[in-house]
Structure 1
Amino acid sequence: MDIDQIVKIHKALGDRTRYKIIQIIGKENCLCPGQLDCSLDGIPLSTLSHHLKQLSDCGILNSEKRGTYIYYSLNEEIIRKYAPDVYDISINPVKPKS
């Protein structure tokens, strides 16, 4: 992977909404935008699509078309390699101490 791709990955992870999208998809494994929309507090679908495209373009998300819907999942290889802390939080969320 070249340096431009690595920079794209880190820029994508620098946005709070995209970070939250990764956390949600990591917990659920595979979601379409309509399913994500409910968890993101009223973000317009067009904005959500923009975030998903950026995450897909840099390789963080995989996309799979099923009928008329596109489902997104984490590209675990890319996340583990370039953002291991994000992977750990997405798959194994930190629980608050009692």
Structure 2
Amino acid sequence: MSNSGGVELVEAVTPCCPPLTERPLTAEEAERTATMFKALGDPVRLRLFSLIASHEGGEACVCDISDVGVSQPTVSHHLKKLKDAGLLTSERRGTWVYYRVEPNVLAAMGQLLTGRRPR
């Protein structure tokens, strides 16, 4: 979606699932969760995700994270996969796209695996 200022915001899917130790996942929850982990299962995507999550301010311009040993089109492909999995959001500012980890995704993934609720 975009606003009148030409900024493109992409809505992402937030993890929905309870801790694995709480109850069995439904088929839909398992599908959604597997999509997220599958997206992180590629070393380049995991690196990109880590670069964005650890970048100052929790946001990174594509120009700051492109040096991961693959071509720019490949970086774009991997970033799209992370966005499609609901792990990232993006915002276009002029000619650059800025990426941010979906706000609740790290806490939700941690909760899923550890069973601990965020503080």
Q: Give the count of matched residue pairs.
A: 82
Aligned-pair identity in percent equals 32
What is the SS of the residue equivalent to 2:89?
Answer: strand
Which is bigger in relative contact order (C-alpha 8 A, separation at least 6)?
Answer: 2
* Aligned AA (1:47): T
What is the SS of the residue equivalent to 1:76?
Answer: coil
Would you say 1:36 and 2:65 are equivalent positions? Answer: yes
Q: TM-score, length-normalised on structure 1?
A: 0.74
Number of the residue aligned with 2:33: 6
What is the SS of the residue equivalent to 2:60?
Answer: coil
Unaligned runs of 5+ in 1: 86-98
Q: TM-score, length-normalised on structure 2?
A: 0.62
- Report how far residue 5 of structure 1 moved: 2.0
Q: Spell out structure 1 runs of 4+ moving beyond 4 A.
A: none
Q: Which has the larger radius of gyration?
A: 2
- Report how far residue 71 of structure 1 moved: 0.5
Question: Cα RMSD between the aligned structures?
Answer: 1.7
Unaligned runs of 5+ in 2: 1-15, 17-27, 112-119
Greater fraction of residues in helix: 1
How far does the alpha carbon of each residue in 1:48-76 deviate from its partner, in whole angstroms, 9 at most, with x for none?
00110010111111111111221001113
- Report how far residue 13 of structure 1 moved: 1.1
